[in-house]
Amino acid sequence: MVKIIIYTGLSITFAEAKEILDSTDEVEVIYKRPIKRGDLGQAIKEHPDIIAIIDGVFHQNSAVGHREILNVIKDGIKVYGASSMGALRASELDTLGMIGIGYCYNQYATGNITSDDDVAVMLDSETLQALSDPLISMDYVFKNAASENIINITEKEELIKIAKGTYYPQRNYAQTLSNSSLSNDKKDKIISFIRESADIKKEDAKELLEYIKKEIG
């Protein structure tokens, strides 16, 4: 029996995650809420074979520490990270055994982004609903919008600058567009584009789950 513990609920809901990776006769998959400091100490007691970190708290509680993750790896447990806190920690610990997956991880690993603020969001602690938009997702969408000529490079840079300059709990598309100099026509076009765009943090979470599913056969 392979036991897997996955910390998520924000980038991807438990229901959506279970559609990709769920318990079977040979595999036990345990989904837990976003990880915080101290959670891994309890997780070790459950003797998992794999731990995947997707979401974690940034400021609501103390974030999961590097030493905690390294202790788990030293115990022979495979640790994967993607999407949000997992991507950040994987980029910091990939040379020490943590495995990073996806776009967000690669953005950190290559140095294109460096701050935990890039993936942080304000969330409802009860429902795990995001109450703001992460900078990495907004940057991804605005770059794609520019590549498809919905906005020009100058407009893209203005939108990203506004988003970066907004404290993460208040950061969202509506506020960013409202504070921009884009014409109403351009705003309407990019709003439609945003609605049709993939959620890159969710896509990364899905990629991680698919990766683990393939790994365990």
Q: Quick: pLDDT tens for 134-184.
A: 999 999 999 999 999 999 999 999 999 999 999 999 999 999 999 999 999
Rounded distance, CA 3 to CA 145, Å? 41
* Coil vs helix vs strand at 204: helix
Q: Side chain identity at 66, as an amino acid letter? A: H
Rounded distance, CA 89 to CA 114, Å? 11
Selection from 60, 100, 95, 64 nearest residue 79 by Cα: 100
Q: Cα–Cα distances in Å, from 93 out to 65, 76, 80, 153? A: 11, 15, 10, 34
Selection from 7, 6, 8, 5 nearest residue 130 by Cα: 8
Residue 36 is predicted with a pLDDT of: 95
Residue 60 is predicted with a pLDDT of: 65
Residue 58 is predicted with a pLDDT of: 79
End-to-end CA distance of the chain: 12
The segments of the chain whose pLDDT lies below 50 read none
Rounded distance, CA 103 to CA 107, Å? 6
Residue 146 is predicted with a pLDDT of: 97
Rounded distance, CA 21 to CA 122, Å? 27
Selection from 18, 11, 89, 108 nearest residue 55 by Cα: 11
Close Cβ partners of 165 (under 8 Å, ≥ 6 residues apart): none
Pair 31, 14: CB distance under 8 Å: yes
Residue 101 is predicted with a pLDDT of: 98
